[in-house]
Amino acid sequence: MVAMSIPASTPPRCTVVLAVKSLSDAKSRLTPLPEDADRPALVSAMLVDTLDAVATVGADAVVVSPDPDVHRLVADRGARPVDEPEPTAGLSPLNAALVHGAAPVGRTAYLQADLPALRPDSLAAALDDAARALTGAPAAFVADRSGNGTVLLVATSGFTPRFGIDSARRHRDAGAVELDPERRRWADLRTDIDTPDDLTVAVGLGLGPRTQAALARHTADADRFGRTPRRGCGTMNR
């Protein structure tokens, strides 16, 4: 990915928090894949493409994970690795991890870690819209492609993330403002990867270079998911 500065109009820089399982356990629903496919490598590649987009908009990244391999990987990308916390009463492991990585004061953006088609301009625009929404609400969020999940939540300190099943409704019920509720913008930001169909959609949008390379290592993967390069990757990547 060619880094290109995207000036955001949301000073100061927010902290972007991502949570990642152990690579050996991640993306169990991403099946079927060829027997020789390296699932941990694919998960790592999607994470790196996501982090590169975060870095390009000038935001600080914190990655919460129990996996030392993830820690090393994200530190090499300029993100701050944080160990997964002990179980927290009333919170799922995912939300406990996100809360653990949140900034102590100010604004925190909680972002899915599997956005291989993410373009920095989409992320910057969503963060800007969220900053404006936060003048009258405790949080703002972007729903996933289905409209049921959440790919990005930007919140003031004290707002608890509610990622998981039906998280869009739960964030909305908690007072968060939904950004672009008609889902006309930011298709790349909305495409997190849980199934092979999700990955096919991401290919159509244009994969980041690390994810594209991870798929291309396996002929069967490349034949199934295509070899479409990310659009505009010579100048600005999502």
- Binding-site residues for phosphoenolpyruvate sit at 150, 164, 167
Beta-carbon contacts of 213 under 8 Å, excluding residues fewer than 6 positions away, are 45
Strands 150-156 and 107-111 come out as: antiparallel
Rg (alpha carbons) of the chain, rounded to whole number: 17
- Please state, as a whole number, how many other Cβ atoms lie within 10 Å of the Cβ of residue 201: 17
Coil, helix or strand at residue 18 = strand
- In the chain, count H helices and then E strands: 9, 7
Nearest to 211 by CA among 41, 81, 13: 41
Q: Check if the beta carbon of residue 131 is closer than 8 Å to that of residue 10.
A: yes
Q: Which residues are annotated as a binding site?
A: 150, 164, 167
* Cα distances (angstroms) measured from residue 50 to each of 147, 235, 237: 21, 17, 10
Instruction: Give the separation between CA 162 and CA 94, rounded to whole angstroms.
Output: 9
Residue with tokens 């920095």: 120
Token pair of 218 as six digits: 């396996």
Coil, helix or strand at residue 77 = coil
Instruction: Give the separation between CA 26 and CA 126, rounded to whole angstroms.
Output: 26
